[in-house]
Amino acid sequence: MGPEAFITLCDTVRSTGLVKDGIRSTVEQQVAQFLHIIGHNVKNRSVAFFFHRSGSTVSRHFHNVLDAILSLESEFLIQPSGNEVHPYVLNNGRFYPYFKDCLGAIDSTHVRVNVPTSDAPRFRGRKDWPTQNVFAACDFDMKFTYVLAGWEGTASDSRILKNAIERDDPLVIPEGKYYIGDAGFMLKSTVLTPYRGVRYHLKEYTRRGPQNARELFNHRHSSLRNVIERTFGVLKKRFPIIASGTEPHYGLQTMTDIILACCILHNFLRGVDHDDSLLDEVDNELNEREDHNVSFSQVREEDHRIGSSIRDSIADHMWQEYQNS
């Protein structure tokens, strides 16, 4: 975050009235303490030593700034109305008019949590440690438009999406509009997913272009959906507190609030302080992961071919013996 962005953020936080200048701590110092914690994933006592404040003072400042940022949710997390086609789609012949009704992309990411031992099994999903499943929607400007954190790591994406749509503060999908999601979601009128069993990874098309309508759809669907992966990637690069593999210093509810605050700050920074080097870093990592996924996919396809051959050989043999009996 550059100096100008920091000053603008401090002015915005000050305007909420929830963080005020004190005799020994200005709003700027309190915001700096908060950013140091979420930007380096350090404990209060480390910040207390650095800023020459007591641990209780740092904790109070942290939660005051956290509350102030959360109060900005309606200002920075804005759901699309669907009245206009997003310029990214409108100005690209690969996507327009085919995806003119697309609002953006949805996905979920897992963030490690600190929960009581008795609750750990409910939160231990994809990882070896407890996580919360964070669902989000974003537009093609790489800004979050909806965030729902707090779900246990074992919860499926489709289950969380269903809850997001039915909540008092719901994910709003106007009639005739839809989001795009990966195969972890159920195909429906409001969520378009890729064709199953058809090439999907972008790298799979570099050697040979799409061969049919389904492959072409999956290719362009993947190109559009990539925005949510890039957005999550930048978010976690900016705020290591939600990307660290170590157990968080805060409990579930506070971490849930921190995740939402980080998403709000991400949107704020997308408007005032684009960090292209950070995005380049994320894109390089996604390309490396894509290469790995394609390699794994090719191995899986070859294994499937061999297995299919073995299965066909056994079936043919049994059928011949059956006919001759």
Rounded distance between C-alpha atoms, residue 153 and residue 104, angstroms: 24
What confidence score (pLDDT) does residue 78 get?
95
Distance CA 250, CA 258 (A): 9
Residue 130's pLDDT band (boundaries 50, 70, 90)?
A: confident
Q: What token pair was written down for 207?
A: 């050697």
How far is it, in rounded angstroms, from Cα 34 to Cα 19? 12
Residue 103 has pLDDT above 70, yes or no: yes
pLDDT of residue 264: 97
> Residue 166: what pLDDT?
94
- Higher pLDDT: 322 or 186? It is 186
Mean pLDDT value across residues 265-279: 83
Query: What letter represents residue 278's amino acid?
Result: L
15-24, 263-272, 310-319: lowest mean pLDDT where?
310-319
Predicted confidence band of residue 7 (pLDDT cuts 50, 70, 90): very high
Q: Give the model's confidence band at 162: pLDDT under 50 very low, under 70 low, under 90 confident, else very high.
A: very high
CB atoms within 10 A of CB 216: 16
What is residue 57's predicted lDDT score, i.e. its pLDDT?
Answer: 84
Residue 266 burial (10 A CB sphere; 0-12, 13-18, 19+): buried
Strand pairing class (178-180; 102-112): parallel
Cβ(75)–Cβ(130) under 8 Å? no
Q: How many helices (H) and strands (E) does the chain have?
A: 11, 5
Does residue 135 surpass a pLDDT of 60? yes
Q: What pLDDT is attached to residue 205?
A: 52
Token digits of residue 23: 């005799």
pLDDT tier at 274 (50, 70, 90 boundaries)? low
pLDDT attached to residue 308: 62
pLDDT of res. 304: 59
**What DSSP character marks residue 172?**
P
Dihedral, 71, 77, 83, 89 alpha carbons, nearest 10: 170
Residues 6+ apart with CB under 8 A from 323: none
pLDDT at 302: 65
